[in-house]
């Protein structure tokens, strides 16, 4: 009997060790490190995976689709347990994501959703509602102008767009253009990509300032480009936040600082904090749950100098200075 118990105990130990050795391996194909948003997203997701005791296989694609394709194929070869994926651009993923499906590795779509989403299998999906974010940028602007007594003025807008063909660019442009239709006095007079980076936002704004006579508003599809543009506006002898209304997207800490300093007027929130979603989704999938095909969008806000401006039905902006200390990214 004793001997049997001993064997059973040894077996439990061996099995326990085996279970530990085969702790989950979670692979993450990230786009690059183009913005404060992206850095916060990488840090947040990677730290959460490691905190669970899961093995992390991380690949930074340096903005190149071919690097992502290569990373996904190497995840398949390694036989990872889960793949987290956000695509630098929307199109061109059909083949490699079908390979992921054939390998039967559960795929979690994050952030920028590929345009083949309806043709592939995925275990869970989470990301910003980019069209709505674009709409919110324009609604905030229209209501702000109204409050300033400029509601009927002819307003010239320039737009810094994100990486061409990225879901976040396509969606925000679509939302901005659709919402502008509701305000005939708001005119989009120039638009160009700044690739979601501060480094490119600056020279593109510089060229807008040279080529466009009257610029009243800058809509930047992320805060980093807005911050680069603010430098260009100052260098041109204009006052950002006053001569030119500056609106960004993401709500990173640096944008809060710029709003408090008076250089920037508003930022529409797009959270990079995906850790809770990722950990919860994997744990539920491990427990055998089916999470369905819904693409989950987080609740997001809008921050500006004074607060109280409506940016979506029934939602008003929050004064950045009041919450700056609580910002975690
Ligand atoms: O807005 C931008 C980043 O895909 C939502 O990518 C993301 C965007 C974010 O570089 O700052």
Note whether 16 and 61 are same-domain residues. yes
- Residue that is written with structure tokens 């296989």 in the block: 57
279-304 pLDDT tens trace:
999 999 999 999 999 999 999 999 99
Q: What angle do CA 323, 324, 327 make, to 5 degrees?
A: 95
Q: State if residue 254 touches ligand 1 by the CB under 6 angstroms criterion.
A: no
Q: State if residue 38 touches ligand 1 by the CB under 6 angstroms criterion.
A: yes
Note whether 69 and 112 are same-domain residues. yes
Range of the domain at 237: 130-272+301-326
Q: What is the DSSP letter of 311?
A: E
For a substitution probing ligand 1, which of 126, 270, 271, 295 has the most ligand atoms within 8 Å of its CB? 270
- Give backbone dihedrals phi and psi of 305, rounded to 5 degrees, phi first: -75, -35
Note whether 32 and 159 are same-domain residues. no
pLDDT of residue 17: 46
How far, in Å, from the CA of 79 to the mean position of ligand 1? 29
Q: State if residue 250 touches ligand 1 by the CB under 6 angstroms criterion.
A: yes
Task: Say what the pTM is.
Answer: 0.93
Q: How far is residue 27's CA from residue 72's CA, in Å, rounded to a whole number?
A: 9
Q: How many helices and strands (H and E) does the chain possess? A: 11, 15
How far, in Å, from the CA of 222 to the mean position of ligand 1? 7
Give how far Cα 91 sits from Cα of 18, 65, 78, 96, 263, Å: 40, 10, 25, 11, 36
Note whether 170 and 253 are same-domain residues. yes
Note whether 143 and 261 are same-domain residues. yes
- In this structure, how many other beta carbons lie within 10 angstroms of the beta carbon of residue 5? 9
Q: State if residue 128 touches ligand 1 by the CB under 6 angstroms criterion.
A: yes
pLDDT of residue 16: 47
Residues of the chain with pLDDT under 70: 1-22
**Sign of the CA dihedral with 70 first, then 71, 76, and 79 last:** positive
Of the CA atoms within 13 Å of residue 113, those in its CB half-sphere come to 22
Note whether 152 and 249 are same-domain residues. yes
- Residue that is written with structure tokens 């039967």 in the block: 104
For a substitution probing ligand 1, which of 30, 35, 40, 176 has the most ligand atoms within 8 Å of its CB? 35
Q: Ligand 1 atom closest to Cα of 223?
A: 11
pLDDT of residue 8: 52
pLDDT of residue 148: 98
Q: State if residue 35 touches ligand 1 by the CB under 6 angstroms criterion.
A: yes
Note whether 23 and 135 are same-domain residues. no
How far, in Å, from the CA of 178 to the mean position of ligand 1? 20
How far, in Å, from the CA of 194 to the mean position of ligand 1? 12
Question: 75 with 83: CB under 8 angstroms?
Answer: yes
Question: 61 with 29: CB under 8 angstroms?
Answer: yes
Q: State if residue 139 touches ligand 1 by the CB under 6 angstroms criterion.
A: no
Note whether 110 and 169 are same-domain residues. no
Note whether 77 and 137 are same-domain residues. no
Q: Which two tokens stand for residue 61?
A: 């694609």
Note whether 195 and 173 are same-domain residues. yes
Question: 215 with 242: CB under 8 angstroms?
Answer: no
3-state secondary structure 197-219: CHHHHHHHHHHHHHHCCCCCEEE
Q: State if residue 300 touches ligand 1 by the CB under 6 angstroms criterion.
A: no
Q: Per the structure, how many domains does the chain have?
A: 2
Of the CA atoms within 13 Å of residue 23, those in its CB half-sphere come to 12
Q: What CATH code is carried by the domain that includes residue 147?
A: 3.40.50.2300
Q: How far is residue 247's CA from residue 311's CA, in Å, rounded to a whole number?
A: 12
How far, in Å, from the CA of 38 to the mean position of ligand 1? 6
Kindly provide the residue ranges of all beta strands, DSSP E only, lying in 64-183, ordered along the sequence. 82-85, 107-110, 124-126, 155-161
Note whether 31 and 101 are same-domain residues. yes
């Amino acid at each position: 009997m004793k001997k049997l118990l001993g064997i059973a105990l040894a077996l439990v130990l061996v099995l326990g060790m085996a279970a530990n050795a085969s702790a989950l391996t979670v692979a993450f194909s990230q786009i690059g490190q183009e913005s404060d948003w992206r850095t916060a997203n990488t840090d947040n997701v990677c730290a959460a995976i490691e905190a669970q005791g899961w093995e992390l296989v991380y690949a930074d694609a340096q903005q190149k689709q071919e690097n992502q394709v290569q990373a996904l194929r190497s995840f398949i070869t390694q036989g990872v347990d889960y793949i987290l994926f956000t695509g630098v651009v929307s199109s061109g993923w059909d083949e490699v994501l079908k390979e992921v499906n054939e390998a039967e590795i559960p795929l979690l779509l994050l952030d920028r959703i590929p345009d083949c989403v309806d043709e592939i299998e995925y275990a869970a999906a989470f990301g910003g509602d980019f069209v709505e974010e674009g709409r919110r940028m324009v609604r905030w602007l229209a209501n702000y102008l109204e409050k300033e007594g400029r509601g009927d003025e002819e307003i010239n807008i320039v737009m810094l767009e994100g990486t061409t063909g990225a879901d976040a660019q396509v969606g925000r442009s679509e939302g901005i253009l659709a919402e502008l239709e509701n305000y005939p006095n708001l005119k989009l007079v120039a638009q160009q990509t700044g690739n979601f980076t501060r480094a490119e936002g600056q020279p593109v704004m510089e060229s807008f300032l040279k080529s466009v006579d009257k610029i009243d508003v800058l809509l930047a599809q992320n805060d980093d480009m807005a911050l680069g543009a603010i430098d260009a506006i100052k260098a041109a002898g204009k006052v950002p936040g006053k001569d030119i209304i500056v609106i960004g997207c993401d709500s990173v800490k640096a944008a809060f600082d710029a709003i408090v300093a008076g250089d920037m007027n508003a930022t529409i929130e797009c959270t990079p904090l995906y850790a809770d979603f990722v950990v919860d989704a994997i744990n539920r999938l491990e427990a055998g749950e089916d999470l369905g095909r819904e693409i989950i969008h987080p609740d997001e806000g809008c921050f500006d100098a004074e607060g109280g401006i409506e940016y979506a039905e029934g939602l008003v902006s929050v004064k950045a200075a009041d919450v700056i200390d609580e910002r975690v990214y």
